[in-house]
Amino acid sequence: MNSPPPSKPWRTDFFLLSAIWGSSFLAIRLGAHEFGALPTAGVRTAIASLVLLPMLLWRGLGPELARHWKMVFFVGLLNSGIPFACLAFALLSISTGLSSILNATAPLFGAVVAWVWLKDRPHGLRILGLLIGFVGVALLAWDKASFKPDASGMATGWAVLACLVACLCYGLSASFTKRYLSGMPTLVTATGSQLGATLGLALPTIWLWPAHNPGPTAWLALLWVGVLCTGVAYVLYFRLIETVGPSRSLSVTFVVPVFAVIYGTIFLSEAVTPWMLFCGAIIVCGTALSAGLLKLKR
């Protein structure tokens, strides 16, 4: 049975969320070059916690978080702490466009983890989608990944691998949440995950804090990614799920790289090659098939 059309316009939330999450790659890149990878991730989650915690307390959900804090904090490390650090590390040496395209593979990893862990086996076109998506990743990585240090001493291969590790963590956390945290209010999971990630990243952030205090551009970038791209974006995303359901909300993943490429081209003069666009199209099509969002008509 088809669900009835949403009673409120959802397209504004959809494209606004895509534009906000697309800008996160630009902001993280600007912040990471002055803060470093781990402090960037730590400051980001700390700012997001400060945004989300008052919302949680205002809605009276503090006791719910207190009852399940161990599980929720662990999800925070898996869903925010490790991925945010990996992404910040990757953006030290690869472009925002490339990182955002690789980040679009998160649903692929989610499907594989759910298959292995939850026995949620995909069938037919979804299996084909997984194969197509990972072929796209392999082609893109083969062209862009090199483990030889470049002139700046960085190797893009480690950056590509870090992006894929982040996506694997997203997949693991999704299955963990489904298995152990089903039915929990989304604001509790969102806030608790940021608090858990902040605590997990606190010592590395302090230990690796840059010797020279970052400039105003880097601070503004992390304020942007913490307040808007993490705190406000969570609210938009959960509202989108309530309005149109999780499947349609998931398709925001495919639009985010478009905005990320546009921002990187305009503000950082990043080059976008035809091969990147070709591989990105393969990844997006494969991911859409594997998630059941794209179906072939007979």
pLDDT tens string for the chain (298 positions)? 444 444 456 778 888 988 999 999 999 999 999 999 999 999 999 999 999 999 999 999 999 999 999 999 999 999 899 999 999 999 998 889 889 888 888 888 888 888 888 787 777 777 888 888 888 888 877 766 666 666 555 678 899 899 999 999 988 888 888 888 888 888 898 899 999 999 999 999 999 999 998 999 999 999 999 999 988 887 788 777 767 665 566 667 778 888 888 899 999 888 888 888 888 888 888 877 776 666 655 5
Q: Kindly give the residue spans of alpha helices, DSSP state H, lying in 69-121.
A: 69-76, 82-90, 96-103, 106-117
What's the CA gap between 177 and 72, in Å, rounded?
Answer: 9
List the chain domain ranges: 11-108+147-275
pTM of the model: 0.85
Residue 292 CB partners (closer than 8 Å, separation 6+): 125, 126, 247
Q: How far is CA 17 from the centre of its chain?
A: 12
DSSP 8-state code for residue 118: S
| Separation CA 197–CA 65 (nearest Å) | 15
Structure tokens given for 16: 């606004």
How far lies 59's CA from each of 48, 231, 240, in Å?
17, 16, 19
